A and B are shown apart, each in its own frame.
Chain A
Amino acid sequence: MKTLLTIAWRNIWRHPARSGVLIAAVVAGLWAGVVTVGVLNGMMDQRLNNLIESELTHIQVHHPEFLDEGYSRLFIEKVDEIAAFLKQDERVKAFTKRTITDGMLQSPVKTSGVRIRGIDSESETRTTNFHTNMMEGEYLDSSIPNAVIIGRTMANEHNMELGHRVVLTFEDVSNQLTSSAFNIVGIFESAGTDFDRRNVFVRSSDISSILYDKAVFHEIAIMLHDEPFAQSLAADINQNFSGITAQTWRELSPELNLIVEFGEVMLYLIMLIIMAALAFGILNTMLMALFERMREIGMLISIGMSRTRVFLMIMLEAIVLTLTGAAAGILLAIFSIRYLSSAGVNLERFAAGIAELGWDHMIYPIMSTPEYVTVVIMVIVITLLASLYPAAKAIRINPLEAAKDS
C-alpha cells in the first residue's frame, strides 16, 4: 500500500500544472461551499435564536382555542397552578406570563392593526432577551401609568416619538370594544421590521385591568435550560393540566422548524452541486492521466502487477489528488469561518430587505464538527465514485499495450 501511495503521490506531480488546477478547483470549491453553508447556518441559527430567545421561547401554553380565535376571553384559567408546576421543574430556566389581545393603534397620523402584548418586564427579562432590542426610552419598568413601547418602524410610520400618546382599542373578555390612551415610553428595533410594525408592548397589569376585573393571562412562555427537553415538558404540562395546550416552538412556528430542516438540507444541496462539478474534474483528470499511461499500465500488468493493485493505484491517485485539495480547502474554510464567526459578515448593503424578512444584517457563520466530517465524507465518496470509471478502464488495459510504439 505504501508503494502504491508513493506511486500515486508522484504520479500526481507528473503534470504539476494539470494537478495544480484540479487541486485549486477543489480548494476553491470546498472553501466557497463550506463558507456559504456556514453563512446560511449562521443566518438560520441567528433567526432561530432571535425568535426563540427574544419572543417565542421553547414552549408556550395557551387556551386551546386562543391561537386560532384570538379572543380575549380565551385566557388560561389555571395560571397559578401551572406557574407552581413550572417553578419546581428543573428543566425550566425561566417563564413569563403574557396578556395578549389584538386591537387598533390610533395616532394623529393614522390607525394601524396591532397585537398588544401585556408583559411583566421583570419576568420577561429573565425569560427572553427582547429588552436588548430597546433603542430609546425604558422597558416598561418605570411607574408611568399606561406605558407602551412601540417598534421603530411603527414610530416612523406614525411620526411618533417618546412622550407621545396613542390610543389602543380592543375587545375585553365580554367582547365589548374598549379604548384607552397609552404613553410611549420606549422604542424598540428587533431584527424584523414587520414584527416592529405589528406589535406593541404594555404592562400586563395595565391591559389586564381593562380586559377583566382580575388578572388574565393568555400565554405562558417557557425557556428551558436545554431545548431537546421541550417535547417532554410540553407533554408533561398537557398531561397534568386540562383546558390548556402546551406547544413547543416547532409546533408554534412550523415555518421556523422548516428553516431548521431546510438548513440541514442546504448543506447537502450546496455541497452536492459543488461535488458534482468536482466529480467531472476528477474524471477528466484521471482519464487524461490514464490515456497517457496506457503503455506504462500495460507494462505493470505484464511484469506481474495484479489488476486489483492497478485498480487501487488509480483510485488512490484520485483520492490523494482530491484529498490534498480537500484538506487545503477545508483548512482554509475552517480559518475563514473562525475569523468570520467573530468578525461577522456584514450584509448592511442589503439590510433593509433582509430586515423585512426578519434576518440580522450581521451574519456570524457557524459550522459544526459533524458538518465538516460530513463534507469530508462527501468528498471521499464523490472521489471514489468519480475514479471508479478510470480505475475500471485501467484494469481492462491489455498487457500488450506495453509493447506498442506509442
Chain B
Amino acid sequence: MIIVETKNLSKVYNPDTVPVHALRDVNITIEKGEFTSIVGPSGSGKTTLLNMLGGLDKPTSGEVMVNGEKITGMKDSRLIDFRLKNIGFVFQHYNLIPVFTARENVSFIMLLQNRDKNEMMKRTDALLEQVGLGDRKDARPKEMSGGQQQRVAVARALASEPKFILADEPTANLDSNSAMNLLDIMERMNREEGVTFIFSTHDQRVIDRARRVIKMVDGAIAEDTLISVEAANQ
C-alpha cells in the first residue's frame, strides 16, 4: 500500500535572483512499513525532500500525495490538521517542550487530537515503556541525556498514530550507544508494529539499518536501492 508518493517534485529557491535547484523532478513512492533512508551529501536536497513529504515546505512544481490525498496546495490550516493526524516528526535537535515532562511531551500531541484522557495516559505510559523510559516519565528535557530526549521525541511521533514518521538526521547529535539504542527502538517499532519510517541522514549507522536507501545528488534521485531484511540485519 502506497503511503507517500511524489510526482515530478521540484523546488527552486530564489527563482528570481540566483536560482538554487534543491529538488529536480523527484518521483518516489513509499510503501507502508518501509524503513527508508534518504542519503546524500550536504546540499543534495534530502532535507528539502523530507520537508516536502511532511508538508512543511511547498514545492515549486509537482505534487505530494499522502495516503492518496494531495497535500500540495492544501490550505495551511488544513495542512496543519493533516500533519497532526497523519505524519509524525522526529527532529535532529529533539525539539521537546522544555517546560513539559517526558510524559507531558508525549501526551501533548494526543491532547491536540482531543483524545480521551484515560486512553491518552495509557498510551503515553506504554510508549515511554517501549522506548525504555518508563522510569523517566516525570523528567524534564534538561534532566535527560540527548539519547533519552530523542527517544521521547520518537514516542511523541508515535503517539499520534501517524501513517508514517519523518526523521531528519535523528542520530546526528547522539553518541554511538545512544544512536544504536534509538535505531534499535525504531527498527523494532517498524518490524513489530509496521510503523513506516523515512529518514534523512548521512549517518552510516542509520544507512546500514535501512531496508531501502534513496541516494540524492544535486536535488535528484541518483540511486534507489532496496535491501533485503537479511542483508539489513547482517
Residues on A lying within 8 angstroms of B by beta carbon are 3, 7, 10-11, 13-14, 295-296, 299-307, 309, 399-400, 402-403, 405
Contact = CB atoms under 8 A, between A and B. Distances in A.
A296 B97 contact: yes
B80 A305 contact: yes
B109 interface: yes
Contacts of A300: 97
Contact of A10 (B54, B89, B100): B100
22 contacts: A11-B99, A14-B98, A295-B93, A296-B95, A299-B91, A299-B95, A301-B80, A302-B54, A302-B83, A303-B84, A303-B109, A303-B160, A304-B83, A304-B160, A305-B84, A305-B112, A307-B80, A309-B112, A403-B51, A403-B91, A403-B92, A405-B93
Contacts of B95: 295-296, 299, 402
Contacts of A3: 108, 111
Contacts, number: 67
Contact of A306 (B51, B54, B80, B100): B80
A324 to B, nearest CB: 16
Contacts of A13: 99
A292 to B, nearest CB: 10
B108 A399 contact: no
A403 B169 CA distance: 10
B85 A304 contact: yes
Contacts of B168: 403
A307 B89 CA distance: 18
A303 B88 CA distance: 7
A300 B54 CA distance: 14
Given A10-B100, A304-B84, 10 more contacts: A14-B99, A296-B98, A301-B80, A304-B83, A305-B112, A306-B80, A399-B56, A400-B57, A403-B56, A403-B92
B233 interface: no
A304 B47 contact: no
B39 to A, nearest CB: 17
A295 B93 CA distance: 10
B215 interface: no
Contact of A400 (B51, B85, B97): B51
Interface residues of B, number: 30
Contacts of A309: 112
B42 to A, nearest CB: 12
Contact of B83 (A10, A295, A303): A303
**Main SS at interface, chain A:** helix
A385 to B, nearest CB: 25
Given A296-B97, A307-B76, A302 B89 contact: yes
Contacts of A295: 93, 95
B69 to A, nearest CB: 15
B56 A7 contact: no
A300 B85 CA distance: 14
Given A400-B51, A403-B168, A302 B56 contact: yes
A354 to B, nearest CB: 53
A239 to B, nearest CB: 67
Interface in B128-178: 156, 160, 168
A306 B77 CA distance: 7
A399 to B, nearest CB: 5
A14 B142 CA distance: 12
Contacts of A299: 89, 91, 95
B156 A303 contact: yes
Contacts of B89: 299, 302-303, 402
B184 interface: no
B223 interface: no
Contacts of B111: 3
Contacts of B93: 295, 405
B81 interface: yes
Contact of B112 (A10, A296, A304, A402): A304
Contacts of B112: 303-305, 309
Contacts of A405: 93
A306 B93 CA distance: 22
Contacts of B109: 303-304
Nearest to A298: B95
A304 B109 CA distance: 8
B156 A10 contact: no
Nearest to A3: B111
B80 A7 contact: no
Would you list the 9 A-B pairs with minimal beta carbon distance, nearest first? A304-B84, A10-B99, A299-B95, A399-B56, A304-B83, A3-B111, A302-B89, A306-B80, A400-B56
Contacts of B51: 400, 403
B121 to A, nearest CB: 13
A306 B75 CA distance: 12
A399 B156 CA distance: 17
Contacts of B88: 303
A159 to B, nearest CB: 77
A330 to B, nearest CB: 27
Given A3-B108, A296-B97, A304 B80 contact: yes
B219 to A, nearest CB: 17
Given A299-B91, A403-B47, A403-B51, A307 B97 contact: no
Nearest to A295: B95
Contact of A307 (B77, B99, B160): B77
Nearest to B85: A304
A230 to B, nearest CB: 59
A306 B79 CA distance: 10
A9 to B, nearest CB: 9
Given A3-B111, A14-B99, A303-B156, A402 B81 contact: no
Contacts of B76: 307
Interface string B42-72: 0000010001001011000000000000000
